[in-house]
Chain A
């Protein structure tokens, strides 16, 4: 018990000698790595990842390499950024050479490892040389000295870019695009059927009619079906024949006259045999039920 108490006291004493910035950096690196590894909400892990990738390793290494405070604040910021990015690139190359490769875990362990190692070395130097680490600017104290007009302008300067991003994203979402209907056709695995889909991006509800033919003969007809928006898809079985078959799909808008050129025409060559339908057999009555259409 006495040994434990003595150990705790020793840790407490040693911790007291470590610069708070170094201690905080080491702890932050470990916490950030844990957050990334645990996969907590993306917003949290993103922030942790940005710290781990762009700030913490550089801070720790700069504290190790420049312990005497001979660099000024601006130089230190540049060093922290530059070293962090350089370390991230070099660590990435190193991970590529290792069997584990680049993954969330390898990144988190490697970068937090570099940071913690840097912090330990910095703490050891701190104890040996013992002088205070470099202080961060006292922003709250500075804010207290600002006149109201400057404070208001600074607050607006921080908020307005967020407004700008909101406006830009609104514009991007509201940009008008010419509406269209997309149709596509792909054979299924094994070639026993084809999948046909109609995607309505016209900006309004549409009603279509469609024919599916094999080697010129209609095997499926869909007289009227509506698509409010999104995709309607169906699978049409193919008659079993030998050799490649040419499957064609013709799609009309319901308002088009019967003899009109199809609105969309598709075709595909299916080489392996199908067995689900025989020539003349009734095709499925309609595409998938409306509830199964998926939004694009």
Chain B
């Protein structure tokens, strides 16, 4: 009988495991003790997450098993340590801010790793075409038929053009510009929320919740106008808020001091010097002056704060470090000089405001409309508050009028094409929403791919869960906001913005509304982030207070379950946002899929487009499907016919099984010279729902079978159509003889 060799395994006792764990915990604790707190750990985890995501992307490309698990692990490594740290109470302001910057840039890295050397997102290619036009001509406003509005809102491309001319490739310039915009966005969001709430902790949680909006991960990370315009719009809003602050009496310079007092959450505004003050944890409106005095005179803070209780409420003292501004104000003696400086800064803010407003108006239509709407509502809320005896927001009306006039003037005199471009989409969406409410039409099925690739069940559960958590948190946050911040016009406006969220959810159930809902979520979440953060922080503090009170009474109540539930809810919101960001098949790069935007951009299509540029010269008029149209317009520098841009119904000659007189008339009206027929289209349903353009869905409903081969084979038998390029799947036909479009 054979005996197995004995393995010399060291005996491990429970004590050894305990010691090992203790060492790990001790190591983590030591890591937190440094001057940067948990920041190095959070940054390390985020970077490690990016490496895992890079491996996941590579595994998916090479068809190696396990990319999904790796990808989600990587994303959780980016999100969870940062979220955990930001939810804690005693984290310095600077650490919160840098943690948010690290997280924001790491999430941007997820998109960069998805397409690490060229543009692959559908919208990116459209904007690349505009950038190419600017770079080639040295002029703006060259028409771009595949995205009509883009040349008339060229802010993003203008900045990128500067970098391209300095030596960067278009892709590098795009990554740098959008990266800078992402950095600006995180900083400004934090500052804006901090201004509205007076709490760095709440501001950091609100920015974290904002990052859970489905547009943050991919859509607003791509080289497209909204990715730059949205940060600039937030910059404008923050400038208005900051200018408002400067216009108030000198002691109001202390950032959000009134809000801190009203809101009553733990304020964690931290000085650079790290000095701290003690203030009532549950401060009430009556403690405003005391709190201001405390902030302005750090040395007397403790006595001031503890000398009186905050009404009848129990008071627990927490650390509130002094703001640098407060320290400076405390030491200021010359009030005239201070007033002059306030005036100077106000003028400076106004100049910045005008510059940034002009930049937003020239960068993106929807964002400039959203910015204008936000400022108008904010001004209106201020007027209402002033009529009720409050201070309101008197300085908002001016910027609101400037934004309104600039937006309308730009649309009418420069980008008039936008009205015709946006109006039908909004009108259609509204009509469908009303029909849905009236029961005249059925809803759109969620999470079901047009090509049959439904999202996994666990993803659906988490996505629904995230929406439910947000919906549940909104009323709580709104009630707390109303009780504590209703005198702050900015906070109220953010609350009103959040209330639009359920409406966008309703629009998701309609075909035309779904896209508008998806696009609007980045704007609506500015309010949602704030309100949900109020709810989260309020609940976390409530749990902590109850536990403290129970301990005082000698009862055992750790609140661990409630804290865990809250933590889980935050993770669900974050993960749900990532699930809703893109369809599961587009989350990672990989093999070719039919009409699947980034998954359809691959060397074969690029080679055909590049051949057209090289051998046919630029600006030949092509008929092609939506993916090859973008490739021809960018890599090929061709004029690929588009329904909206060229006012021809391109789907008719492309999709019909034989060329009818109607199809021929369309080709002739569009002066088509070449047709690109990609035979891979016949192998599957289109993943985004359409092969050529959105009109297919409107006229014929969703595709139930792949495109018939006859639609592409017909060119073989048409007299006057000559196959000049053939790679076995992609064929290019010269149809100039057919359409009389010979040059």
Contact = CB atoms under 8 A, between A and B. Distances in A.
Interface of B is mostly: helix
Contacts of A239: none
Interface string B337-364: 0000110110110011001101100110
A225 to B, nearest CB: 18
Contacts of B158: 88-89, 92-93, 102
B187 A74 contact: yes
A149 interface: yes
Given A53-B162, A54-B180, A168-B116, A180 B47 contact: no
B166 A81 contact: no
Contacts of A183: 725-727
A271 B355 contact: no
Interface residues of A, number: 96
A154 interface: yes
Interface stretch (B454-462, B564-572, B599-607): B599-607
A82 B345 contact: no
B443 to A, nearest CB: 38
Interface in A214-242: none
A41 B168 CA distance: 11
Interface string B57-97: 11101110000000000000000000000000000000001
A75 interface: yes
B35 interface: yes
Contact of B724 (A41, A65, A147, A186): A186
B737 interface: yes
Contacts of B430: none
Of A41, A153, A166, A168, chain B has the most CB atoms within 10 Å of the CB of: A168
B726 A83 contact: no
B352 A83 contact: yes
A268 B36 CA distance: 69
A136 to B, nearest CB: 12
Interface in A156-191: 156-161, 163-172, 174-178, 180-186
A67 interface: yes
Interface in A82-116: 82-83, 85-90, 92-93, 96, 101-104, 107-108, 111
A176 B723 contact: no
Contact of B176 (A44, A48, A54, A158): A54
A78 interface: yes
Interface stretch (A23-31, A259-267, A273-281, A285-293): A259-267
B159 interface: yes
A96 B41 contact: no
B50 interface: yes
A207 interface: no
B172 A46 contact: yes
A199 B726 CA distance: 10
B696 to A, nearest CB: 27
A102 B165 contact: yes
A83 B362 CA distance: 15
B694 interface: no
B116 A172 contact: yes
Nearest to B134: A102
Interface stretch (B5-13, B25-33, B530-538, B647-655): B25-33
Given A73-B272, A89-B363, A172-B61, A164 B113 contact: yes
Contact of A36 (B137, B166, B191, B355): B166
B147 to A, nearest CB: 19
A148 B180 CA distance: 30
Contacts of B124: none
Q: Which 8 pairs between the two chains have the least Cβ-Cβ distance?
A: A49-B166, A171-B58, A92-B158, A65-B348, A160-B47, A42-B167, A101-B138, A157-B43
Given A50-B168, A90-B359, 12 more contacts: A52-B166, A74-B187, A82-B232, A92-B161, A93-B158, A101-B138, A103-B138, A111-B162, A149-B30, A156-B48, A175-B590, A184-B725
Interface of A: 36, 39, 41-46, 48-50, 52-54, 65-68, 70-75, 77-79, 81-83, 85-90, 92-93, 96, 101-104, 107-108, 111, 142, 145-147, 149-151, 153-154, 156-161, 163-172, 174-178, 180-186, 195, 199, 201, 244, 246, 264-269, 271, 296
Interface of B: 27, 30-31, 33-36, 40-41, 43-44, 46-48, 50-51, 53-55, 57-59, 61-63, 97, 102, 109, 112-114, 116-117, 134, 137-141, 154-155, 158-159, 161-163, 165-168, 172, 176-177, 180-181, 183-184, 187-188, 190-191, 228, 231-232, 235, 238-239, 242, 246, 253, 272, 323-325, 328, 341-342, 344-345, 347-348, 351-352, 355-356, 358-359, 362-363, 589-591, 602-604, 607, 611, 615-616, 720, 722-729, 734, 737, 742
